[in-house]
Chains A and B, each alone.
Chain A
């Protein structure tokens, strides 16, 4: 079998020194194939962005320190690669977009200039040809009147349009992998829906691998092929989207699902209490012994405080890091089976 497009293997990253050392990534492993959407789901501070930055080679070291693991792109190990090689891969092979498009764009250059720059410096195109390609790129991301908008500055774009412009810029050199780090978190829901649809279409048209980083269980359910759930710098569960929602195997995954107030669901009874996960995520400089989730887990028993549950295979393509994962997966979620949806 060919190597996956991207493979992250047992990645470990720390920040700080001495007793203040924060173990931010504690053995993160995931992979994404061509044309596939992998969603990385987790609450803030769980290490989603640090993983992505390490993959892209843009993690600040210091203060960060990569202490172990590997990142392979089409089988090529990147963590030891020369800086020129990483620079070449950025843009050409892998690209990243961020939550905050405004600060990722340069305010003093037109949007068109910033896109065209890549064609000029990395493809050796003339100014004129590069600008023509920039217009095509804006067109590709469905910006109306692209030929006019290309001459505008980032502040003249709305939030949704800026995110489109950033997508255009990231796709300019035709990368095989796009990492989207919370691309719609700052946007309103109607605009979020437009952007998610656009990303999904572009992935399909180009056969691109997409890593979608998000904290929104709804977004994940609508677009992900596979999902990796992160907690305290680890992947705690990983499987295809349908199985994750139908057979959540890790108590943290189940807790997230029980915490979300759903727009389509009076099944639990309107106003019936949500079932939040008690407590807070641990400090990354004092991660609990055993299962890192045990202080918040309703099912914790003695073995959970003593032994770290490894991320292990519990079914075809379904991996979970809980001592009792099989039992939880078999129980399924606690959710009504039927509901009403708005339809044509």
Chain B
């Protein structure tokens, strides 16, 4: 197997909780990301799923070097990501790009599409000489399925799906190796979402991109991802291939998530197991002791409040899960 392009170990990002205006005191920590390890291999898609507030965007922001980590390491092609400075940092930025969820706020409304998509070339003039700029931008627009003639239009003249394509074109401009996609299709209607998902697949094949694909929609993740990491309250609770996660989920949280997703097939009504979780996710400023999921876990036992379960493969499972009692679900085939 090849080396991971991105390798993350024990990554932690805490935000201080402060009180007072004149004398600001730190009274606690929001443990947004609390010990995440993952590997992303060239050309693959690794999905990161979890409910809102579990730390997905914070993970993306730290890996993009938009905010410093509290602790932990990350390497990009073997080099220390967080140690990069100056020219090395600028050079690395070519290789790793991000696409954000909101196609309405992530594009500058006063710039033309040509300026937005061509902006990376201003920072990296070595990639495209000025004389070649317009042709390159038009090529990018064509690649993402937009009309190259629309280079002088403004973002508001495009629909949500088209704006997301503009964001993707901008991310592609410098021919990166990795694109972090933070909920790239969550704001789109289903028919438009499908267009953008197909585009992402096509681009991956054409340019050999690796995606770190963050989403809360488990259907989208199953469709697109080779491997999946499930997050809960700042940590990864289960990880495996898409097939392992979707057919043999062994962590009670993953099982509950999967059984909560409504399936568009009325003939399955009442035939799927419904694992209903009680209550809401606890605050990441004050996570439960031991296993963080124990306050909502239908299988919780006394040991769960004492020992935090390690993310590891257990005797009855074939992929890592952070649960003392991890076991695969019972599957039945229905006609």
- The interface of chain A, by Cβ under 8 A from chain B, is 43-44, 144, 158-161, 188-194, 196-197, 215-222, 224, 241-242, 244-246, 255-264, 266, 270-271, 273-278, 280, 337-344
Instruction: Please state if A274 and B223 are interface contacts (CB–CB under 8 Å).
Output: yes
Residues of B within 8 A of A270 (CB): 222-223, 242-243
Instruction: Please state if A276 and B191 are interface contacts (CB–CB under 8 Å).
Output: yes
Instruction: Please state if B256 and A190 are interface contacts (CB–CB under 8 Å).
Output: yes
Contact of B193 with A by CB under 8 A: yes
Contact of B30 with A by CB under 8 A: no
Instruction: Please state if A245 and B190 are interface contacts (CB–CB under 8 Å).
Output: no
Instruction: Please state if B224 and A222 are interface contacts (CB–CB under 8 Å).
Output: no
Known: A261-B224, A276-B192. 19 other contacts (CB 8 A): A189-B257, A190-B260, A192-B262, A194-B277, A221-B264, A221-B269, A242-B267, A245-B267, A256-B190, A256-B191, A259-B193, A259-B194, A261-B219, A264-B261, A264-B268, A276-B194, A340-B247, A340-B332, A341-B334
| 30 A-B contacts (beta carbon < 8 Å) | A144-B279, A188-B281, A189-B257, A215-B190, A217-B190, A218-B263, A221-B264, A222-B263, A224-B266, A242-B267, A260-B190, A260-B194, A260-B219, A261-B222, A262-B264, A263-B218, A264-B265, A264-B268, A270-B223, A276-B195, A276-B198, A277-B191, A277-B194, A278-B195, A280-B159, A341-B331, A341-B332, A342-B272, A342-B329, A343-B273
Instruction: Please state if A342 and B262 are interface contacts (CB–CB under 8 Å).
Output: no
Q: From residue B58, how far is it (CB to closest CB) to chain A in Å?
A: 17
Chain A residue with the shortest CB-CB distance to B161: A280
Contact of B260 among A160, A192, A264 (CB under 8 A): A192
Residues of B within 8 A of A189 (CB): 51, 216, 218, 257, 260-261
Q: From residue A236, how far is it (CB to closest CB) to chain B in Å?
A: 13
Q: From residue A131, how far is it (CB to closest CB) to chain B in Å?
A: 25
Number of B interface residues, CB 8 Å? 58
Q: How far is the CA of A217 from the CA of B217 in the complex (A)?
A: 13
Chain B residue with the shortest CB-CB distance to A159: B280
Given contacts A43-B189, A245-B266, contact A342 B259 (CB under 8 A): yes
Chain B residue with the shortest CB-CB distance to A245: B266
Listed residue (B190, B217, B249) with the most chain A CB atoms within 10 angstroms of its CB: B190
Contact of B271 with A by CB under 8 A: yes
Instruction: Please state if A342 and B264 are interface contacts (CB–CB under 8 Å).
Output: no
Chain B residue with the shortest CB-CB distance to A268: B223
Instruction: Please state if B161 and A342 are interface contacts (CB–CB under 8 Å).
Output: no
Instruction: Please state if B219 and A342 are interface contacts (CB–CB under 8 Å).
Output: no
Instruction: Please state if B216 and A188 are interface contacts (CB–CB under 8 Å).
Output: yes
Residues of A within 8 A of B269 (CB): 221-222
Q: From residue B52, how far is it (CB to closest CB) to chain A in Å?
A: 6
Contact of A273 among B201, B219, B256, B334 (CB under 8 A): B201
Residues of A within 8 A of B281 (CB): 188
Contact of B310 with A by CB under 8 A: no
Instruction: Please state if A259 and B191 are interface contacts (CB–CB under 8 Å).
Output: yes
Residues of A within 8 A of B274 (CB): 193, 197
Instruction: Please state if A262 and B280 are interface contacts (CB–CB under 8 Å).
Output: no
Residues of A within 8 A of B332 (CB): 340-341, 343
Given contacts A245-B266, A277-B191, contact A343 B51 (CB under 8 A): no
Contact of B258 with A by CB under 8 A: yes
Q: From residue A274, how far is it (CB to closest CB) to chain B in Å?
A: 4
- Give the tally of cross-chain contacts (CB within 8 A): 173
Residues of B within 8 A of A224 (CB): 266
Q: From residue A237, how far is it (CB to closest CB) to chain B in Å?
A: 15
Q: From residue B88, how far is it (CB to closest CB) to chain A in Å?
A: 35
Chain B residue with the shortest CB-CB distance to A192: B260
- The interface of chain B, by Cβ under 8 A from chain A, is 51-52, 159, 161, 189-195, 197-198, 201, 216-220, 222-224, 242-243, 246-247, 249, 255-269, 271-274, 276-277, 279-281, 329-335
Q: How far is the CA of A342 from the CA of B255 in the complex (A)?
A: 9
Contact of B264 among A188, A193, A245, A271 (CB under 8 A): A245
Contact of B219 among A263, A271, A339 (CB under 8 A): A263
Instruction: Please state if A43 and B197 are interface contacts (CB–CB under 8 Å).
Output: no
Q: How far is the CA of A263 from the CA of B222 in the complex (A)?
A: 6
Instruction: Please state if A344 and B219 are interface contacts (CB–CB under 8 Å).
Output: no
Q: How far is the CA of A264 from the CA of B259 in the complex (A)?
A: 10
Q: From residue B44, how far is it (CB to closest CB) to chain A in Å?
A: 11
Contact of B263 among A159, A197, A221 (CB under 8 A): A221
Chain A residue with the shortest CB-CB distance to B202: A273
Q: How far is the CA of A224 from the CA of B264 in the complex (A)?
A: 11
Q: From residue A18, how far is it (CB to closest CB) to chain B in Å?
A: 21
Residues of A within 8 A of B52 (CB): 188
Q: How far is the CA of A134 from the CA of B137 in the complex (A)?
A: 60
Residues of A within 8 A of B223 (CB): 261-262, 270-271, 274
Residues of B within 8 A of A161 (CB): 280
Residues of A within 8 A of B220 (CB): 261
Q: From residue B150, how far is it (CB to closest CB) to chain A in Å?
A: 14
Instruction: Please state if B261 and A259 are interface contacts (CB–CB under 8 Å).
Output: no
Instruction: Please state if B265 and A245 are interface contacts (CB–CB under 8 Å).
Output: yes
Given contacts A188-B216, A280-B159, A341-B272, contact A275 B264 (CB under 8 A): no
Q: How far is the CA of A257 from the CA of B258 in the complex (A)?
A: 20
Instruction: Please state if B262 and A218 are interface contacts (CB–CB under 8 Å).
Output: yes
Q: How far is the CA of A31 from the CA of B84 in the complex (A)?
A: 63
Residues of B within 8 A of A260 (CB): 190, 194, 219, 264
Residues of B within 8 A of A261 (CB): 194, 197, 217, 219-220, 222-224
